Structure 1
Amino acid sequence: MKLFVVGLGPGGAEQITPRAMAVLNQCDVIAGYTVYIDLIRELFPGKRLLDTPMKQEEKRCRLAIEEALSGNTVALVSSGDAGVYGMAGIMYETAREFPEIEIEVVAGITAACSGGALLGAPLSHDFAVISLSDLLTPWEKIEARLQAAAQADFVICLYNPASKKRSDYLARASEIIMRFQSGDLPAGIVRNIGREDESWQVTTLAALREIPVDMFTTVMIGNSQTRIIRGKMVTPRGYRYEET
């Protein structure tokens, strides 16, 4: 019995890795969040597709497990990479009582990497990835992590920076980081990565407080060494070049 947990990448079909595409092609059933299933529906017209809405992650896993126990080869899909705020962890937890099912995680391109590429090279040195969603993590813990990352001068990549119920979270996060960093730090916003309305902009940490964002936005905040080169964010790793 085989169950794959597959990262679809940031959005566009061209950003699904060849390995992920090969796995999906060999599966009998593909399960996932409704939005992500809709993104790949046309790619797999002959497959059985199962979906559940937001906040039904455990049910999604159990649907995939049931299909695997029935003898089907199954893929549970996530956007980006399944192991980065994705479905890999919860699948391992949910399937603990079914040791007969073999689980394999198939890597995908996460938003930190794809968003970083659009913005230039902001992640060339040490960085931290922090989700601002407090659905499963208390805000107090998120705030502590923001403080620690800012104080340690990490480049910070923010996932899930806002939603309808928490429209001010990016502004709050920016204020926390500015306790330890300058408001002039380069920062970047990437929206709808890999989709038709993809966009990006380079700004500053202070300006982030006034920029509207949503769940399809990824935010990059540079460290004290990050510079703007050719209109893009670049964080030096420490190489030194002789000027000629």
Structure 2
Amino acid sequence: MSGDGWVAVVGTGPAGPQWLTPETADILGRATDLVGYGPYLDRVVADHQRRHASDNRQELDRAGHALDLAAEGARVAVVSGGDPGVFAMAAAVLEALDRDTEGRWRDVSVTVHPGVSAMQAAAARLGAPLGADFCALSLSDNLKPWAVVERRVRLAAEADLVMALYNPASRSRPWQLGRVLAVIGEVHPPATPVVFATAAGRGEQERLTVTTLGEADSSQADMRTLVIVGMPGTRVLEREQGTLVYTPRYYEGA
């Protein structure tokens, strides 16, 4: 990054400071301004940066504000939870740059830095459910039609991909996860493992549930939940130390 203003898009990980990468901690320490969704900014322990909090649905406005600050010489960390490149602010910042037809931010340095994603945290808590081919899907239909969500879910199930499902439910759309599980159930057997990981890594808030496609209760999920739907070959190991879930590296018939 240059000595002039810059934007660094970072992720704090899914929980506390133990999930923060050293690179991101260094960037946060050098930043003059922090821009992000309020609850994500609250995870950052800092004493000198100016904080610019905004609502969770104001991504493009937030990105433009960060770029404007950097154009004025500020060193701006755009803060996401998890990994900034996974359903988070990196795409919004680049979209804002792409729309900059007037060249307002031509000279602003923009970099993206990896973090620990929610799906990595949830998977590690249970073992290795993402140990073979998988995909990540957002169930939110705020920016895409619901028909596209259903189609992608069905095709992923038909392709035998393990699915990490982000944004599975909210107060305004409590029915969508149930519908998605029903669509997957038209392809996979009822015994297919399903994981609900709520607030993974957040101490007493953490709730991990291992169930099956036939028994899964979609009401267990909220916006803090990452849902992992296995493939039929995904295995559940019941041990004295706790339940482990993994998807074998090999494929039946290979």
Normalising by structure 1, report the TM-score. Answer: 0.94
User: Which range moved further: 208-217 or 5-14?
Assistant: 208-217
- In structure 2, C-alpha distance between the alignment counterparts of 1:217 and 1:195, rounded to whole Å: 12
Counterpart residue number, 1:130: 137
| 1:18 corresponding residue in structure 2 | 22
| 1:189 partner SS | strand
Q: How many Å apart are 1:210 and its aligned residue?
A: 4.6
For residue 128 of structure 2, what is the amino acid of its counterpart? A
Deviations 1:156-183 (A, max 9, x none): 1110100001112111100000111011
Q: What is the one-letter code of the residue matched to 1:159? A: Y
Residues 82 and 118 in structure 2, CA contact (< 8 A), matched pair in contact too: yes
| 1:123, distance to aligned residue in structure 2 (A) | 0.4
Paired residue for 1:228? 236
Root-mean-square deviation (CA), in Å? Answer: 1.5
Shift in CA distance, 184/211, structure 1 to aligned 2, threshold 3 Å: farther
2:174 aligned residue: 167
What is the one-letter code of the residue matched to 2:232? S
Aligned pairs, how many? Answer: 238
Contact residue 156 and residue 221 of structure 1 kept, 8 A: yes
The answer to whether 1:201 aligns with 2:209 is: yes
* Structure 2 letter corresponding to 1:113: Q
Show CA shifts across 1:55-77 (max 9, x none): 11111112211210111111101
> Which runs of 5 or more structure 1 residues have no equivalent in the other structure?
240-244
Distance 2:187 2:94 in 1: 38
1:139 to 117, 122, 146: 146
Q: Does 1:72 align with 2:74?
A: yes
**1:183-212 deviation per Cα after TM superposition (whole angstroms, max 9, x unaligned):** 111111101122231121111112224542
SS of match in other structure, 2:62: helix
Partner of 2:50: 48
How far apart are the structure 1 equivalents of 2:163 and 2:58? 29
Give the 3-state SS of the residue equivalent to 2:8 in structure 1. Answer: strand
Match of 1:218 among 226, 235, 240: 226
Structure (1/2) with the larger helix percentage = 1
Larger displacement relative to structure 2 (206-215 or 59-68): 206-215
Name the counterpart of 1:28: 32
CA distance, structure 1, for counterparts of residue 130 and residue 51 of structure 2: 36
Asked if 2 retains the 8 angstrom alpha-carbon contact of 1:124 and 1:235, the reply is yes
Deviation at 1:39, TM superposition (A): 2.1
Distance 2:145 2:190 in 1: 26
Give the AA of the match of 1:100: D
- Give the Cα separation in 1 of the matches to 2:16 and 2:160: 33
Amino acid at match of 2:250: G
Q: Percent identity?
A: 36
Note the residue ranges of structure 2 that are not aligned, 5 or more in a row: none
